[in-house]
Amino acid sequence: MKDFWNERYSQAEYIYGEDPNAFFKESIDKLNPGRILLPAEGEGRNAVYAASRGWQVEAFDQSAQGQVKATQLADKAGVSISYTLSEGIHPDYSLESFDVIAFIYTHTAPDIRTTFHSDLLPYLKSGGKVILEGFSKGHYQHQQSNPHAGGPPEKDMLYSLEEIPLLFPNLGIILLSEVEITLSEGVAHKGEASVIRYIGEKR
């Protein structure tokens, strides 16, 4: 999978664009800036936006090419982000040190899906929030009719409403919904989409 993403990120263009995901932007714009973790952050669009709003940003991804482009985007925006190369196993963060952990289209392989999400919760402060947007299983129908709809072709890599509380046990649910939206994120997330949106809070 690492080779797949390095290849995808090898073009000059940012495949999901340079602007942040809309739900991510709307969600963090309501919060006071603090420390934020962005797992599987790819080319850095969300990390750079958060940094430009005064957040202290930690990001990680398995793709070295993603890291290169995220660093270039940060330089272009004149902001600083910390971006570590890591394949599923999270880097060495301090416990309870993040105000927000945001999972934006973090469709990992099914065998590491639970650990990839749940194992990061000890790094969230009490009162801290998890923000997630990702394709739901209902997105499969859009993928069949639109090659630019985005998302993994494997149905078991798509999110469902039922599994979110299992991925984030013990968090209070502020928002959990499955919605139909129109995505316009670069060349790779384009058109009708079915997504899960979630905000959880560590009590």
Q: How far apart are CA 28 and CA 107, in angstroms?
A: 21
Instruction: DSSP letter for 157, please.
Output: G
> Which two structure tokens, joined as six digits, stand for 176?
């959990």
**What is the nearest approach in angstroms of ligand SAM to the Cβ of residue 93?**
15
**Looking at beta carbons only, is 156 or 170 nearer to ligand SAM?**
156
- C-beta of 114: minimal distance to ligand SAM in Å? 12
Residues engaged in binding ligand SAM (CB under 6 A): 1, 5, 16, 21, 40-42, 45-46, 61-63, 66, 86-88, 104-106, 108, 112
Contact 71, 44 (CB under 8 A): yes
Q: Which amino acid is at 86?
A: S
- Least distance in Å: CB of 203 to ligand SAM? 26
Of residues 99 and 133, the one with the C-beta less far from ligand SAM: 133
Nearer CB in complex with ligand SAM: 87/154: 87
- Write the Ramachandran bin of 42: left for phi over 0, alpha for psi from -120 to 50, otherwise beta: left
Report d(CA 97, CA 120) in Å as an integer: 11
Q: Which residue number, 192 or 203, has a Cβ lying nearer to ligand SAM?
A: 192
Amino acid type, 16? Y
- In whole angstroms, the minimum distance from the beta carbon of 118 to ligand SAM comes to 14
In angstroms, the CA 167 to CA 164 distance is 5
| Torsion-angle region of 191 (φ positive above 0: left; ψ -120 to 50: alpha; else: beta) | left
- Cβ 22 to ligand SAM shortest distance, Å: 11
**Of 1 and 187, CB closest to ligand SAM:** 1
